[in-house]
Each structure stands twice: as C-alpha cells, then as structure tokens.
Structure 1
Amino acid sequence: MRARILVPLLLAAIAILVGAAGFLLVYSKDPSATRTVVSGALPGGAFRLTDQNGAMVSDADLKGRPFAIFFGFTHCPEICPTTLWEMSQALAALGPEADQVKVLFVTVDPERDRPEMLQQYLQSFDPRITGLTGSEAEITAVAKAYRVYWRKVPTSDGDYTMDHSAMIYLMDRQGRFADTIAYGTPGPERVAALRRLIAGA
C-alpha cells in the first residue's frame, strides 16, 4: 500500500524537477556576459491588440523600433506596479534616448482589463508606456508566442487573481528577441539593457 502511494509522489517530484530544469535551460544567465541565454524557440511573434485609447497596435507597427514587452494585469498587487514604476524611472534616466524604444504592457486579464481600465491604471506611470488588451483568444495567442506563464487563481472572496511571468522581453528593430530584464533588476542594469537594445548591441 505504501509503495502505491510513494510511486505517484516520486513521479510528481521528478516531473517538477524536470520542469524546473527546463525553465533554467530556457532562461539562464551566461556567466561571461550580461545577456540571457535562451534555448529552443525564441519568444516573440505576430500580434494585433487594442491599446488603452482604443487604437489597434500590431507587431508590424513596431518594425524599425526596438521595444520592451511585459505581461501583467491591473489588479496585480506588487509585481506589475513595481515593474511599471521601474520602467518609468528607466525611461526618465534614458533622457532623449527613451523616445527610440517602445514599452508595452500586455494584460493577461482581458476579462477585467478593457481599454478604459488600462487608461486609468497607466496614468500613474510614464505616459510613453502603452497598455494592450484584446479578446481572450488574442491574449492567449500573444502570451504563448512570448512563452509567458499565466494562470487564473480563484480567491477566498469569490474573486480571482492571476499568476504570471515577471520577465520583461526586449525585442530588436526587426521584432526579434534580444534579451530579458528580470524582476528586481537594479536600476542601472535596467537602463544599460535598454541602451544596448537601442544601440542594437
């Protein structure tokens, strides 16, 4: 009987370890450089979403301009507002260079985050940050293209929250993956990563 219980537990533990190892292989830091090493299919792909002003924005509109893209939601208690504030600080630190890069905030909660909600929420951050939303299918497609983890989690009060990846993806002028900025990256490193992106280095 104990063996019947232990075998599934062991298999579950192995699955968790394999998943963790896969994540580390996909997003690992090269000790000899400041870049993130990504294996397998690279994040990125075509999308067509609606911004906070109701206008359509697609990946084609961004060709020729590097961009940073982050996935989150307006009801996020910590990670999203912190990341948006830090990106606002980074844009300010870049000075005139900031106009050469686009910063996108894509919601993973389109049920609540309609354009008017994004517009209100983003008033607290740099006005150059663009919020994007769409249908459930559109958000699912772009999140999968960028290899983003997200999951709706019910809360005890009958509402829900969202678990999601906290990585910022940096895409070059051709819309190709260039690097990432991890949550909690110090300000100077964040600014340096954006400068490299703008320079195409």
Structure 2
Amino acid sequence: MNDRKILLIGGVVAIAVIAIGGIYLSTRPSTGNQFAACQAGVVSGGMDSFGTDFTLTRDDGNRVTAAEVFDKPSLLYFGYTMCPDVCPLDSARNAEAEALLKDEGRDVQTVMITIDPRRDTPEVMAEFTDLFSENMIGLTGTNEEIDAVSKGWRNIYKAHDEEDKEYYLVDHMTMTYLVLPGNKTVEFFPRDVTPEVLAERVGCFLDAAG
C-alpha cells in the first residue's frame, strides 16, 4: 500500500497518455437525434458504436452485468489504481461533477473500469474509488474480459510490464463516457473539461433524455 501511495501521489515518472486514436470530433453538430443540442460534435461511427454488454467483478467482489451497473446515468472512466497522476486527477474531476449534479437533484454515479486487472483486485479497486466518492463503482475482471470491454468503448491501452512486473506504468486513453440506463453511451468528454462544464453538459443530456 505504501508503494502504491508513493506512485499515486508522488510519482516522478509522468505517464504517457495515448492520443485519442480513432476518435475524431468534427465542428459540425450532430443532427437527427434527441441529444443533438448537447453533443459537441459527431464521431466516426456514431455514438452507437460505443459500448458493449459485459459481466465484470465489482469492488465488493460480486459479479455484475452492464445492465446492473448502468442502472442510472453514469460517468465511465478507464484507468488503473497505480497510475501516478492522470487517473487520480480524472477520477477527482468526475467525482466533483457527480457532486455538483447531485446538488441539483440529479441522480448520477461514477464508474471506473481498470485496465490493469493483474494488480487491481476488487479490494484494491474499492480502496482507490473510496478516495474520491463513496458511490464510485470500481470494476475489474480477467485480462480477456477487460480487453473485450475496452474494445467495446474503443479504449486503447498498453502495459509496459516487459521488465518490471510490479511497478510498471500503463499507457491509456483518458476519455470519460456518459452512459445512460440501458447501457447507452451518448457522449464522451476529454480530460480538460472542468467539473463545472462537465456537470452542465451532463445535465443537458439528462434533460434531453427526459
């Protein structure tokens, strides 16, 4: 735990963040759907190309399906607990946006799926997510399960564990996805969006969803 905290808080090696490979926003607003006014642009393949059904292990040790996880509007993030800087900052931003939305009476949650299942056991995930929100859900699984879920959300990651099997870094994308009940992904947000703007934009989608 002490070594993990050192990496989490005071890591001296900056993580390399993979560019948004394969995901491109245009300046033309999306049309022909109920969320057109809320979306920042259009994406190759459309938002329907994001997401997949899954069964993963929740941070309480229970196996859960996508339908059970996404029973309310969710801010979904892919990261890992030993990430020295990016993941804690993004998780804190998402948790702050969740709190702002709840202040407005909107029932939302945050979800983190690990891309480092070797080290991120349910217990480790629970300890990490509790740092940011008591309602944040942490999910892990087998390598094959995490690969399949990441592919479903077009998430790219790579572990640099060729030499060090314990204290390696993982390159990964840093998008946060808005997933509505029914496992419907309607938008993604880059990490430079502030908590206030994120909460405002999520609110637009919730209003549009009725």
State percent identity of aligned pairs.
30
Task: Using the TM superposition, give the Cα deviation of residue 31 of structure 1 relative to its aligned residue in structure 2, in angstroms.
Answer: 5.3
Of residues 25, 30, 51 in structure 1, which corresponds to 2:27? Answer: 30
Task: Using the TM superposition, give the Cα deviation of residue 47 of structure 1 relative to its aligned residue in structure 2, in angstroms.
Answer: 0.9
Kindly indicate whether the alpha-carbon contact (under 8 Å) linking 1:48 and 1:57 is maintained by their aligned counterparts in 2: yes
Q: Does 1:102 align with 2:109?
A: yes
1:25-64 equivalence runs, <5 A: 26-30=23-27, 32=29, 34-40=39-45, 42-62=49-69
Change (3 A) 1:184 1:133: same
Change (3 A) 1:173 1:155: same
Partner of 1:136: 143
Partner of 1:15: none
Task: Using the TM superposition, give the Cα deviation of residue 127 of structure 1 relative to its aligned residue in structure 2, in angstroms.
Answer: 0.9
Matches of 2:65 and 2:105, distance apart in 1: 20
Q: Which runs of 5+ in 1 are unaligned?
A: 1-19
Change (3 A) 1:160 1:64: closer
Larger radius of gyration: 1
Please list the CA deviations of residues 95-153 of structure 1 after superposition, one character each: whole Å capped at 9, or x if unmatched.
25566223210000000000011111122111111000001111011001110010011
Counting matched residue pairs gives 180
One-letter amino acid of the structure 2 residue matched with residue 38 of structure 1: V
What SS does the aligned partner of 1:118 have? Answer: helix
36-45 vs 130-139, greater mean Cα deviation: 36-45
Matches of 1:85 and 1:38, distance apart in 2: 26
Q: Does 1:196 align with 2:204?
A: yes
Kindly indicate whether the alpha-carbon contact (under 8 Å) linking 1:101 and 1:198 is maintained by their aligned counterparts in 2: no
Partner of 1:147: 154
RMSD: 2.5
One-letter amino acid of the structure 1 residue matched with residue 111 of structure 2: L
161-170 vs 48-57, greater mean Cα deviation: 48-57
Q: Does 1:127 align with 2:134?
A: yes
Kindly indicate whether the alpha-carbon contact (under 8 Å) linking 1:110 and 1:136 is maintained by their aligned counterparts in 2: yes
More strand by share: 1
182-191 vs 150-159, greater mean Cα deviation: 150-159
Q: Does 1:72 align with 2:79?
A: yes
Q: TM (normalized to structure 2)?
A: 0.76
One-letter amino acid of the structure 2 residue matched with residue 141 of structure 1: A
Please list the CA deviations of residues 151-199 of structure 1 after superposition, one character each: whole Å capped at 9, or x if unmatched.
0114876642100010011122332221111112122211112212322
Partner of 2:4: none
What SS does the aligned partner of 1:37 have? Answer: coil
Q: TM (normalized to structure 1)?
A: 0.79
Partner of 1:186: 194
1:157-172 equivalence runs, <5 A: 159-172=167-180
One-letter amino acid of the structure 2 residue matched with residue 30 of structure 1: T
Matches of 2:168 and 2:193, distance apart in 1: 28
What SS does the aligned partner of 2:60 have? Answer: coil
160-169 vs 63-72, greater mean Cα deviation: 63-72
